[in-house]
Amino acid sequence: MSKRGKTPSLIGGGAGASKFVVARRVRRCRRCDVSMRRGSHCVEVKIPGKMGSKTYCLSCFRDVLERSREDLNVLARQVNDLVAGASVVS
């Protein structure tokens, strides 16, 4: 079976990728509620199925990335276990 199209990513999905932005106005971090001044760096994360986005300070986004990395590692181990199990049965 051949694969069609580009390989999708679990990060970003159909809602578009998260992006680093420079705040054009005062923003608040969605996680720690710190105030980010105009001109400071932050991250916008699109909300799937909605028009809006969540804003995170760089410190909190580092934590979000670490948690995402851990979740992806768990999924990768599960897929590897399933593939290894399937090849033993075949």
Confidence bin at 18 (pLDDT 50/70/90): confident
**Distance (Å, rounded) from C-alpha 42 to C-alpha 58?**
6
Q: What is the pLDDT of residues 31-83, one digit of tens each?
A: 999 999 999 999 998 877 777 888 999 999 899 888 888 988 999 999 999 98
CATH of the domain at 38: 3.30.1740
Indicate if the pLDDT at residue 7 is higher than 70. no
The count of structural domains within the chain is 1
Residue 6 lies in a domain: no
Residue 19 lies in a domain: yes
What's the pLDDT score for residue 27? 95
Q: What are the C-alpha distances in Å from 39 to residues 17, 24, 50, 54, 89?
A: 21, 6, 26, 17, 58
What's the pLDDT score for residue 68? 84
**Distance (Å, rounded) from C-alpha 27 to C-alpha 59?**
15
Indicate if the pLDDT at residue 9 is higher than 70. no
Residues of the domain holding 55:
13-89
